[in-house]
Structure 1
Amino acid sequence: MPQSSRDNDHEQRSGSGDDQQDERKLELNELAASHVELVQHIVNQVATRFPRHVDRGELWSAGAIGLVEASRSYNAETGVPFARFASIRIRGAIIDSTRKRDWAVRSLRRQMRELREAEERIETARGRHATDEEIAQALGISIDALAARRTASLTSSLLHLDHEDPDRVSLGERIIEEEPERLPDENLANREMIGTLRSAVEGLPELQRDVIMRYYIDGEMLQSIAESLNVTEARVSQIRAEAVNSMRGFFTTLYQGVADVPEDAPGRRGRAAYLATMATQSTWLARLEAADHDVSSGRTVHESEPAAI
């Protein structure tokens, strides 16, 4: 066979292979696209297992990745309907994503448990409060590393707005917490933490404050809040997110180790005004005094009047 004929034959086979690959990709895309609603269905099913602060959008994104992976690995010859096959992969992808996200929280809990155990051992052995130097030495870390762990523990308590087990203290519980009997130094630190949370909530614009209190303190559903405000549930979710970002921005000015709020996060202008106000009003003494103030007093009880949102 002449060389030119062989070249033409090779190009035809190569082109045919490319066409087949393109067709295969198109089929997979169509298979996934035709089952997108399955992702939302499974998100609605599994979302009840997670605390309210877990973003359903994040669950949906993880589920969508699972759907795409399912379309690529599906074999119709098995006789298993794709919807059933994909459901398993979608659910697994969602659960895996939450496990990865919770790893850092579990790691922090382990570190704080080790810190408390070291502190208790020293105090039991010596009959007095353990010093930072003694605790750091027992843990084999530096004083700076010990301080970083304590800061991480504090900011974790501030930023976890709900909990998934009895050991986790939520923002709502922190805000309304009554003062238990504590050692003087523990009591002071705890009062400042509670006061920081309460002053952060009190400093929010009225609408944001009302949504935060109703959602986290009263345990009211977003749908119920939306109906009373005559707005969509998505709008209430946005208000809540903007309020949380504002408070997180406030925490970054007080504590090390708190992740900065992205510059392009929704509500930038309102957040800037909130931070400017808090910078002039929030002092250490004011935060201690806020710990004794009931933030739920004086809240507006919304009927079904339209809200200026």
Structure 2
Amino acid sequence: MPDPEQQELDELWAHYKATGDERARDGLILHYSPLVKFVAGRVGSGLPRNVDQSDLVSSGTLGLIDAVDKFEPERGFKFETYAVNRIKGAILDELRKLDWVPRSVRARTKEIQRTMADLEHKYQRTPSEDEVADAMDISTDTLRDHLGEIAKLGFVALDELLKPGEKESGSMSEMIADPSATDPSGNFEREETRYALADSINRLPDRERLVLTLYYYEGLTLAEIGSVLNVTESRICQIHAKAVISLRNRFIEPAYR
């Protein structure tokens, strides 16, 4: 039996796309507005206090409006996935303008990324924390502190640190959550993306792979994952940060392969 609410929503989409009616447009924006607060909350998690959450919501709303205007229902893609990417993009644009990430954190992130890439090329596998720390001439505890500092900035913020200002490759966290989301242009491209990402994830160490699986695919919170693995939430943040850096090197950055 068809869902009456979904049927009404489908009719609203059809009416707006056929007529451009402003009331239908406003109705769609209102219906999907909770997405903005959800995305702004995830992006804003861990950001400095000087970053106003309301500014992120305002920017995200512009992304939602853009998504409603440009979405093509007849292509068969899920609007929520499309909208979340637009909303994230608009919020990241706002964050870039604010230049909110401390320079020391940017430099440290790049150093860790480059070191991991060099070690992976050398060993043909994901390096351990001990190996990365040794190559950087720091202790493993210090490396974990650095990873924790990076993780506190938020998971979507990590994407921006790893590839600042560039949008064409898509967010790493978006790619993990939905490999087809960044470029829903064709079945072949989607399948190639899915296979390549799955291969990259499968080559991660067991614990890193498990953290990504539980967070992105099973929907567990960081605290819940910590309980499953019997470690602290902050430790899960460190593991996640290292895993995403490794995936960025393998999957997004051809120069590091």
Larger Cα Rg: Structure 1 or Structure 2?
1
Normalised-by-shorter TM-score class: 0.3 to 0.5
TM-score, normalization: structure 2?
A: 0.39
TM-score, normalised with respect to structure 1? 0.33
Q: Which has the higher contact order (CA 8 A, sep 6+)?
A: 2
